[in-house]
Structure 1
Amino acid sequence: MDEGLSVDQLIHGNQTTTQNVYRSDLRWFAGAAVLEIMAVMFVLPLFFGWWTLGNAPLLPPMELGLAFDAPCLKEVNSATGSSGVVQKVGDVHLKYGVIHTMNGPGIEDGKDSERMVCRLGIAQSQNVQQPTRGMRFGV
């Protein structure tokens, strides 16, 4: 190190910071609160009488099958609930999985043939297969 130089140095400086100060305008809050209360008041009458629908607002597997129009449940009245469906369909074992269906004409080896399409759905258990990794499904 050169003579006359020191390792300790003193540097003077100023630091200036900007601090954001927010001020709430309660008139805007009150306006937004009034609009939210009005929206709730307009929507609330739509739910009046929900308890008279007769079905609990749940979707057990049987109800899902009815909602997604499972072919084996087409003749069942969906308003009867799960117990009505079981009475109508009887002792049928259903399963959710891969269903193979024919989807229009195709050409295979120069011959006309039906094209096989896979989809997910609910059907009788002997007609349903377990999905495997990498399967693709048609709409």
Structure 2
Amino acid sequence: MIIDRHLAAGEAMLADAANGLSGRLEIDDIVRALVFGFIRLHQDDPRLHRVLAGEVPISSAQRERIKALRSRIIALVAKVLSEHVKEAELKATLLVDTADALTHRWIVDQVALPASADIMVAQASKMLKGYLS
């Protein structure tokens, strides 16, 4: 099923991101990687995302898979944030949900921020880094 292939792509991206983490990362790097990852995921096929988000019924197994993927992303971000901030899990949750919502709105919902992906990364990262400081 198409949603399963889409979830597999997201899971593969997460695995790549987790494998790429090494050493101490600075907050700038963490936030930029998170925002860029969501932009990359949503830019892949915005029309497909729109259909999957609004028109395709999701089974309970797929819903659990989505929930597990979100939890793994939050755990990964919390792990790398823990060296820098208190309440890393709470802050990771807010970062992940905000980055996901922003990129979904800009790319999938076609509200289209009039900017390139690089500018989107820079602006969203600036906002999210402000939350952490």
TM category, shorter: under 0.3
Higher strand share goes to which structure?
Answer: 1
Q: Which has the higher contact order (CA 8 A, sep 6+)?
A: 2
Q: TM-score, normalised by structure 2?
A: 0.20
Larger Rg: 1
Higher helix share goes to which structure?
Answer: 2
Q: TM-score, normalised by structure 1?
A: 0.20
